Amino acid sequence: MASLAENRKTLDAFGDRVIKSARANLRKKRQIRGRSVNRIATGNLRDKLTYNYFKRGPKIIQWFGVPANDTATRNYADVIEKGRTPNKDPLTWPPVSAIQRWMELKGLFSKEAEENGGKGREAFAMARSIGKKGIVGVYYMRDALQTELRKSGKEFREFYTREILKELRLKADKYIK
């Protein structure tokens, strides 16, 4: 049976490595239509990633993700991690205001929209497209956890799988993969 006091240093070191790896995964550029594009708009998700652990009965539970008190960032983290399934129901599309802020940060508005005040229309069109087509997940946290477990020694992996319940704290929603 695992003792939290005995394993605190080991869990902290592992948690730090997983979060560092997840942040690196978010910083990776991706290719869109032949251009290398940065995934980060504000860095809010990257900066809020954390981990913690606690005792529940005989097991230690360790979670990775965004703190529970930040619902907006947790919802965003879910979509970035798991993606978003296509859905034709407008009530399930992403909020236009959030899409508009993201488009402004990324400089995605056309010159015409900038000049004629058509940002709302373009943001709505983007939200509709995301809602109807969905988006592919990045799996930044899953990949970080798997990478760091692989890098760890056999003894640590056995201890971790035997004694620790891993939980990606990502609030699942029925419209998110």
Q: Is residue 45 domain-shared with residue 76, that is, in the same domain?
A: yes
Place of tokens 């006091």: 5
| 8 in the same domain as 24 | yes
Domain that holds residue 90: 86-133
Residues 6+ apart with CB under 8 A from 104: 119
Specify the pTM. Answer: 0.81
Question: Rounded to an integer, what distance in angstroms lies between the CA atom of residue 127 and that of residue 106?
Answer: 15
11 and 98 assigned to the same domain: no
pLDDT tens digits, residue range 12-36? 999 999 999 999 999 988 776 677 7
* Model confidence at 137: pLDDT above 90: no
Confidence class for position 173, pLDDT limits 50, 70, 90: very low
The Cα–Cα gap between 15 and 11 comes to: 6
What is the total count of domains within the chain?
A: 2
